[in-house]
Amino acid sequence: MTRDPRPIAMSDQPAEKTEKAERRQFRAIKGTRDILPPDSALWNWFEQSAREVFESYNFRDIRTPIFEETSLFARSIGEDTDVVGKEMYTFTVLEQGIDDLRRAQDTIVSYPSPWNSPEHYEVFCRFVERFIEQFRNARSKGLLPKDQFNRLMFENLERDFAEFEGPGSGPTQQLIESVQNHADVIEIGTYLALRPEATASVCRAYIEHGMQTLPGNQKLYYAGPMFRRERPQKGRYRQFYQVGAEVLGPSDAPAIDAEVLEMLLTLFNRVGLANIKLYVNSIGCKECRPKYVELLRAELRKVKDQLKEDSQRRIETNPLRVLDSKLPEEQAIIEKLPRVSEHLCDACREHFSKLKDELALRGVGYEENWRLVRGLDYYTRTTFEVTAAGLGSQNAVCGGGRYDGLVELLGGPAGIKGIGFAIGTDRAILSIQESGKLPKLPGLAVFVAWMGAKAYAPAVAIAKKLRARGLAVELPPEELKFRKSLGLADKLGARYALIIGEDEAASGTFTLKRLADGQQDKLDESALIARVESELRGPNAR
């Protein structure tokens, strides 16, 4: 990965001056967006539905940080993938208190020639001494990234510096350059990335907290924003949202895969996603996949001339990804390639066939798709994807699969298996909106139309009581004229206007008006509460 030359300074920017000069409006950054009411209610409902379904399968919430070390993602997702290669938001953060070290590093690296002047030489040596001292100091305080490469480069720098022979000497000239080069590659800041997905973070947390010692498999779910620097378009954003689930533990029983898929479809049915299709495949394990990949590569080389640039490159870097190609002119060629299902080892073939039995047992409908390889490196055996209607070419609402070696790859215990998926919440919501089948969500229940100073105290009191029963109540902060009050109740979409005038205040009653049909009743407090609750919560509630 390339080094980020400009670390983020955590100090305040002199922003005031420029802002005064240019009072411009701010807009959300390209590829990000605001989710406003009433849409936000749909989002909450979707995420809440996911929580309820997942918890009914005994999955529990895990919350991991939004940023992690860049190398966590590079190592798990794979350096050669689009996500890591070009889509990650990375930045470098300097710990507080090492600004001087950074300055000393910059000075050494950019120290100008000529070298033969004794003054130049003396000054340079002083800078190197200062750098060495500050580096040691920062390291002992734990302010530097713990990195093998860094340690080595620092040792080399010290060794070269110890051999300096004075100004004007030939050997020193070379040593100086070597010191500069070593100083240049020493990492002072920590490389961080906004998470492009959460599986790597969940595995990191699993390992860090020794969760393998907990009883049974760990069944975890999450919901939150992810970040990828892609070209924004319909269903594709730079900050997008996922809800996902992972099962981590010693077992890789096909019933786990099947349960995960059953749970997924249960959720999609519950939220009413239209035309969903589940595609399933097995891409083998570390025993059989490499052999298949070699075979695929050999076959692809034979037809290289007929493929476009991206696929030509992938023949060498990641031949499985060629199967992902959507280019019409490549389809006929791809159809003739050897299929992974014909090259699975016995164990993988049996796992896949048991998975299919399990899906049948659970009534989970699916289609086999031998070309479903998925974009991330860590998948083994089961892979799957769900598509839905109304999304154009970005029609995948969920992707997932098994990743049996990932925990070990990230430095965790051997033999821990994993499977999981991530649902693209933006796309799921979009599909539901496009289908027009929106759920009926509870809106504003009661608008308290109070008039006259004497009505205010009873209005405040009844609003509080209704709210305590979980009803949404709007209480105007200032007195409104009767017509205006009812007009506003209507515009806000309230179910009822609760009219409290001086009469009602005097008699301790309320006039409840149902806005849909204008029906109006005079009720005392307990009758009012009973009425509102039974209509909003009872069998005829919307």
Q: Which is nearer to ligand ATP, 182 or 374 (CB)?
A: 374
Q: Which of 419, 427, 385, 381 is nearest to 220 (CA)?
A: 419
Q: How far is CA 144 from the centre of its chain?
A: 27
Q: Which two tokens stand for residue 237?
A: 């954003």
Nearer to ligand ATP, 87 or 299 (CB): 87
H/E element, 61: strand 60-61
Identity of residue 56: S
Choose between 424 and 458: whose C-beta lies nearer to ligand ATP: 424
> Can you tell me whether residue 375 is helix, strand or coil?
coil
List, as one string, the DSSP characters of 311-326. HHHHHHH-GGGGGG--
Least CB distance to ligand ATP at residue 326 (A): 10
Residue 269 C-beta: closest distance to ligand ATP, Å: 18
253 versus 396: smaller Cβ distance to ligand ATP:
396
Q: Is 8 helix (H, G, I), strand (E, B) or coil?
A: strand
Judged by beta carbon, residue 261 or residue 473, the one nearer ligand ATP is 261
In this complex, which beta carbon is closest to ligand ATP, that of residue 430 or of residue 532?
430
- The residue with its CB nearest to ligand ATP is 424
Helices and strands: H and E segment counts in the chain? 20, 16
- Cβ nearer to ligand ATP, comparing 197 with 246: 197
- Residue closer to ligand ATP, measured from CB, 219 or 236: 236
SS3 content of the chain, % helix, strand, coil (to 5): 45, 15, 35
Task: Say which residue the tokens 């529990």 belong to.
Answer: 60
User: How many other CB atoms are found less than 10 A from the CB of residue 274?
Assistant: 14
Q: Which residues contact 221 (CB under 8 A, 6 or more apart)?
A: 50, 51, 54, 59, 60, 61, 62, 243, 244, 245, 246
Least Å distance, CB 197 to ligand ATP, is 5
Task: Say how far apart CA 153 and CA 157 lie, in whole Å.
Answer: 6
Q: Is it true that the peptide bond before 171 is cis, omega within 30 degrees of 0?
A: no
Smallest separation, CB 214 to ligand ATP (Å) = 27
Token match 């507080």: residue?
A: 96
Q: Which residues pair with 65 in a beta bridge?
A: none
- Residue 295 Cβ, how far from ligand ATP at the closest point, in Å? 24
Q: Strand 367-368 to strand 277-282: parallel, antiparallel, or no bridges (unpaired)?
A: parallel
Angle at 80 between CA 76 and CA 81, to 5 degrees: 70
Name the β-bridge partners of 418: 248
| CA 183 to centroid of chain Cα atoms | 35
Element (H, E) at 68: strand 67-69
Classify 396 as helix, strand or coil: strand
Q: Is 20 helix (H, G, I), strand (E, B) or coil?
A: helix
Q: How far is the CB of 380 from ligand ATP (least distance, A)?
A: 15
CA pair distance 102, 131, nearest whole angstrom: 9
Region of 222 please: left (phi>0), alpha (psi -120 to 50) or beta: beta
Min separation Cβ 244 and ligand ATP, Å = 8
Nearest distance from C-beta of residue 539 to ligand ATP, angstroms: 37
Give the residue with the Cβ less far from ligand ATP, 106 or 230: 230
Q: Which is nearer to ligand ATP, 266 or 395 (CB)?
A: 395
Q: Which is nearer to ligand ATP, 88 or 498 (CB)?
A: 88
Give CA 178 to chain center in angstroms. 42
Among residues 343, 344, 339, 308, which one has the least CA distance to residue 326? Answer: 308
User: Which CB, 195 or 351, lies closer to ligand ATP?
Assistant: 195
Nearest 5 degrees, angle CA 14-CA 17-CA 23? 125
* Interacting residue ranges for ligand ATP, rule: CB under 6 A: 197, 228, 230, 235-237, 240, 242, 375, 394, 396-399, 422, 424, 426-427
519: amino acid identity, one letter:
Q
Instruction: Kindly tell me which of 398 and 486 has the beta carbon lying closer to ligand ATP.
Output: 398
Cβ 422 to ligand ATP, closest distance in Å?
4
Closest approach of ligand ATP to the CB of residue 507, in Å: 57
Task: Name the residue nearer to ligand ATP (CB basis): 219 or 238.
Answer: 238
Query: What is the closest distance, in whole angstroms, from the C-beta atom of residue 256 to ligand ATP in the complex?
Result: 19
* Gyration radius of the chain over CA positions: 31
